Amino acid sequence: MCSSSKTSEKTAQEEYELGVWCEEHNLKDLALVHFEQTLKRDSTYEGAHKKLGHVQMNGRWLNADEVKEAQGLIKYKGRWVTPEEKERKEALAATAGRGFVVGQEDEVAPRCLRGRTAPEEPGSRAKDAGDKRVNRRRSRPSGPG
């Protein structure tokens, strides 16, 4: 049995329509499956590409990641950045790892370390808090007696 392109297009059309029906009935995950199946049957089906968020560039359909790559961006720690930004972040991370102080503007440093010039002694905050409590007790006037 020989399949014609009309049969393939019809099948793609039916798959697409099923995806639209799923979308209209708040079955978004299932709709995406049908749109992907549409493209397996007809890789040029514009409606399915659009539903999947694809963009046409230079005659090719690209997904979101491919568009970012075409723009010269790279994925670094889950974010799209320029190659220069990646190098800068890695250099800052390496500097921070050697014990150098990292400024507040640096995204690499954990929030608790930003802007610090010297590490605190372990337990120094608790000790200070304890001293204040002791001083308050001592400064209270003694009761009637």
Return the number of other C-beta atoms located less than 10 Å from residue 30's C-beta. 15
More confident residue, 127 or 76: 76
More confident residue, 56 or 108: 56
Q: What is the pLDDT of residue 85?
A: 94
Q: What is the pLDDT of residue 21?
A: 97
d(CA 63, CA 52): 8
Tell me the one-letter amino acid at 35: F
Averaged pLDDT score across all residues of the chain: 77
User: Per residue in 37-56, pLDDT tens?
Assistant: 999 999 999 999 999 999 99
Look up tokens 């007809």; give the residue: 42
